[in-house]
Chains A and B, each alone.
Chain A
């Protein structure tokens, strides 16, 4: 495999790690123009470096033909204590799990009213409404004409197959110990 000079790796790392616009990460065309035509190979090399600190580069398609956005995500997972330190409450994480899973079970689109009712059974109506607004603002879900779908952040951050297996397996880890 070809090796690249440090400055191209640095440029790619800066583009991916530092938030410049509304959304984190960098678009494929940005990487192409700032890092070079062979930016995917540069990202592979960057991945080798990031792997040592439990991070990796992830590509998420953006709907437009051939366009995608690249992010740096945590390769492993985090513990509940760490999630709390990041400002997440257990209730909010549980609500997010159910919201994403329910949207998936409805094949990617679910009525907001239904999700609100589902969440309000355990969290109360007011909290359910507030949480859905928070999830939408953070990009985990998107809303159009009262229909909820998965947002860009859910597609970038959540291993959807593993989430469904884990939930339907009664909350137990699919194979490994948590």
Chain B
């Protein structure tokens, strides 16, 4: 099969996918014309790969036909309205009117939160394993260190965390991840590890922003934490979760904390 024929089939496949993703109206897809085109290409198919592509296209066309059927049924139902008409409604009505329209059709679920036997058992087991407060406090004090406190930007600059060129620095770290990653993945601790604890904390600090902003993703946990270039939420809009990672001098020397 020539490159032109292959290109033609791939174009049809792409159009079918657009219809399935609701990007275009299924009735804008002219099934008769497309089938004629597939019929013209068919005699030129030679390899197994060509026939597989042809079958894939026919399958996609059948899905578009099914969507056309669904649309016809939907248009004859009481739920039918065009997206354009809805946009008009949204422009015309105030948020109060829209909320009132929703409340007229809303029958919220009644659900009660209550203690369960499992919950009580988990609570009891936690309580019996909990050391007295004084003992726990002594242990915290023995470890030393400072209690958490608020810091201002000047202080952050003084300790070398914020330097005014935040975005520039973040871009540099992002480019480093891209360069060092293999098949779109880089071990978190390989990225964070640095000659000094201060530098390691800085790298972890920027990594946390790269992850929160969705430029990269974070997968796994502990020693197996990985930064993933494909896992970012920049285009996906997934819900974020908080992942606490403790960084100690031991962690920097080798492995996770």
Measured CB to CB, the residues of A under 8 A from B are 17-20, 24-25, 55, 58, 71-80, 83, 86, 90-91, 93-94, 96-98, 100-102, 104-107, 109-112, 118, 121-122, 129, 132-133, 136-137, 143, 146-147, 153, 156-168, 170-171, 173-174, 178
Contact = CB atoms under 8 A, between A and B. Distances in A.
With most chain B CB atoms within 10 A of its CB, the pick from A19, A77, A97 is A97
Nearest to B237: A112
Contacts of B139: none
A112 B233 CA distance: 13
20 contacts: A17-B111, A18-B112, A71-B110, A74-B107, A80-B100, A83-B103, A94-B96, A101-B81, A105-B81, A107-B70, A121-B90, A133-B239, A136-B239, A143-B237, A146-B235, A156-B109, A159-B107, A164-B80, A168-B85, A171-B101
A67 to B, nearest CB: 18
Interface string B86-119: 1101111101111111111111111111101000
B78 interface: yes
B99 A170 contact: no
B240 to A, nearest CB: 9
Interface of B: 21-23, 67, 70-71, 74, 78-83, 85-87, 89-93, 95-114, 116, 235-237, 239
Contacts of A163: 101-102, 104-105
Closest 10 CB pairs of A and B: A97-B102, A94-B98, A24-B111, A171-B97, A93-B99, A94-B95, A163-B105, A162-B105, A166-B101, A159-B105
B106 A102 contact: no
Given A78-B108, A79-B103, A178-B103, 17 more contacts: A17-B112, A19-B113, A71-B109, A75-B107, A76-B107, A101-B81, A101-B89, A104-B79, A107-B74, A110-B22, A118-B90, A132-B237, A157-B108, A167-B98, A170-B93, A171-B100, A174-B104
Contacts of A143: 237
B85 A72 contact: no
A82 B106 CA distance: 12
A168 B89 contact: yes
A153 B106 CA distance: 11
Contacts of B109: 24-25, 71-73, 153, 156-157
A118 B104 contact: no
B106 A78 contact: yes
Given A102-B83, A173-B104, A19 B112 contact: yes
A106 to B, nearest CB: 5
Contacts of A137: 239
B200 to A, nearest CB: 32
A18 B114 contact: yes
Contacts of A18: 111-114
A93 to B, nearest CB: 4
Contacts of A98: 86, 90, 98
Given A157-B109, A163-B105, A118 B79 contact: no
A153 B108 CA distance: 9
A51 to B, nearest CB: 13
Contact of A105 (B83, B92, B106, B110): B83
Contacts of A164: 78-81
A79 B239 CA distance: 31
A162 B79 CA distance: 9
B98 A93 contact: yes
Contacts of B105: 77, 158-160, 162-163, 166
A19 B116 CA distance: 10
B38 to A, nearest CB: 26
